[in-house]
């Protein structure tokens, strides 16, 4: 688990920045607003993102069913500027962490699996990629991310 400190800029990273990381970003923004923690920002990017791609249709649908609007999301690739601006980088898979540490070794102490704050289930594991799968996979992914992000918000309230 990350060292307990104040986080003001939180970045979620997945592969294409069209499913998992935009859902996590949207969930965090909603929960931060609800918790009156608007001084904390949330963003997302992808290790292999094609700039400008919208969130996938099923990611948008599942998010909307839960009060999260991804209609304006556009994918962007990870960059040194984005990493440098982030106090905490939460990735969906161990391979994302490995890739980011290789490319940005100075950020190693800020890069963790997204589920490291999770309240339920096994926290040190990946968040499964629903891309190309059915609605149920997106729904499960959303719930998995929601659990992880709720745990993060609980942590933020304590620090």
Spatial separation of the C-alpha atoms in residues 114 and 51, rounded to whole Å: 22
Residue 6 C-alpha from the chain's centroid: 18
Q: Which of 61, 119, 129, 150 is catalytic?
A: 129
What SS3 class is residue 110? helix
Q: Is residue 103 among the annotated active site residues?
A: no
**Dihedral (C-alpha) 78, 83, 84, 88: value to the nearest 10 degrees?**
160
Q: Which of 14, 19, 116, 141 is catalytic?
A: 14
Q: What is the DSSP letter of 49?
A: -
* Beta-sheet strand order (sheet of 111-113): 41-46, 9-14, 88-91, 111-113
Could you tell me which residues come within 8 angstroms of residue 129 by beta carbon, excluding any fewer than 6 positions away? 14, 15, 19, 20, 92, 93, 141
Q: Which of 20, 60, 76, 97 is catalytic?
A: 20
Tokens of 37: 């923690």
Q: Is residue 129 among the annotated active site residues?
A: yes
Spatial separation of the C-alpha atoms in residues 152 and 2, rounded to whole Å: 11
Residues identified as active-site: 14, 20, 129
């Amino acid at each position: 688990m990350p060292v307990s400190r104040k986080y003001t800029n939180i970045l979620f990273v997945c592969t294409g920045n069209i499913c998992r990381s935009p859902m996590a970003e949207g969930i965090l923004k909603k929960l931060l607003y609800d918790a009156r923690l608007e001084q904390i920002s949330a963003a997302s990017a992808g290790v292999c993102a094609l700039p400008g791609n919208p969130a996938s249709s099923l990611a948008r649908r599942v998010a909307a069913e839960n009060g999260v609007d991804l209609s304006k999301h556009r994918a962007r690739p990870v960059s040194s500027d984005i990493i440098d601006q982030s106090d905490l980088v939460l990735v969906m898979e161990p391979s994302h962490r490995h890739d980011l540490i290789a490319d940005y070794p100075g950020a190693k102490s800020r890069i963790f699996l997204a589920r490291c704050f999770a309240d339920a289930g096994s926290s040190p594991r990946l968040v499964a990629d629903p891309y190309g799968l059915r609605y149920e996979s997106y729904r499960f992914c959303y719930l998995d991310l929601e659990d992880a992000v709720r745990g993060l918000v609980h942590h933020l309230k304590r620090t």
